Amino acid sequence: MTANSQLIPGKKLRLLSRKRWQRIAHATHPLSLSGEQVNRDVIKRLFDVVFSLLVLICGAPIYLLIGLLIYLDSPGSVFYIQERVGKNYRRFRCIKFRTMIENADDILLDLISTSADVRQEFNDNFKLKDDPRITSIGKFLRCTSLDELPQFWNVLKGDMSVVGPRPLVPEELVKYEHHIDKVLSIKPGITGLWQVSGRNDIPYEQRVQIDVYYADRHNIWLDLWVAMKTVSVVLFPKNNGAY
């Protein structure tokens, strides 16, 4: 990838929600309140805190139900915690609902060591499309992105934002090449342009471009659009690229 590829080509943008999020991103920058410019990071943090509190409080029964289903479906913890890389390269513990069997990491090592195809797929995407480690309830949680609900706690703690680039595992940083500093200049998000534009169906190189684009153009209106678009993706998860 070259420096010229930071902006997503027009043809690809048309495939990603027909350029709507590009137009929204250009619409405005930091808002003006009572004649004074308010830093967009302050507005973003306020949105993160209010939105996360609403989800955590109003969604408490859903959290309890999902936790119970995971507990009944397979042995192991209800939550899965993984190290991710946040703003300014800060490492943090990202929390999700567990969607895999208990010894998933050990099984992955066995799969990679015995199958060249599996090893290549994981090296390319850091995911497996037909992952045998995923539990029955885990398939549903991943398809609807409900496995990411606990990350609102990460948002309250200040590790993440509601909307932002993908939260990366340390091994992914090298794939972003010279773009990584730009992407890690802001907090990763629970959702983002990648999540509402096809997710895993998008080639990895284009995911990088989308994250760079968001880091350059993000504002409150774009965040609100992505948040609303995410609701529709969760409610109607068919062919949303999640697995």
Average pLDDT over residues 61-82: 95
The pLDDT tens digits of the residues spanning 150-205 come to 999 999 999 999 999 999 999 899 999 999 999 999 999 999 998 888 766 788 88
Instruction: Give the residue with greater pLDDT, 18 vs 116.
Output: 116
pLDDT band at 1 (very low <50, low <70, confident <90, very high): very low
Where does residue 125 rank: exposed (0-12), middle (13-18), buried (19+ CB within 10 A)? middle
216-235 burial, b for 16+ CB within 10 Å, e for fewer? Answer: ebbbbbbbebbbebbeebbe
Neighbours of 132 (CB within 10 A): 12
Token pair belonging to 241: 């690229």
Q: What is the pLDDT of residue 64?
A: 97
pLDDT above 90 coverage of the chain, percent: 53
Q: Which residues contact 190 (CB under 8 A, 6 or more apart)?
A: 148, 151, 152, 154, 155, 160, 161, 162, 163, 164
The pLDDT tens digits of the residues spanning 83-137 come to 999 999 999 999 999 999 988 888 888 888 888 888 888 877 777 777 888 999 9
Q: What is the pLDDT of residue 234?
A: 80
Region of 239 on the Ramachandran plot (φ > 0 left; ψ -120 to 50 alpha; else beta): left
Q: Which residues contact 229 (CB under 8 A, 6 or more apart)?
A: 17, 21, 196
Q: Indicate if the pLDDT at residue 73 is higher than 90.
A: yes
Q: Indicate if the pLDDT at residue 38 is higher than 70.
A: no
pLDDT band at 211 (very low <50, low <70, confident <90, very high): very high
With H, G, I as helix, E, B as strand and everything else as coil, classify residue 162.
strand
User: Among 219, 162, 184, 207, which Cα is nearest to 16's?
Assistant: 207
With H, G, I as helix, E, B as strand and everything else as coil, classify residue 214.
helix
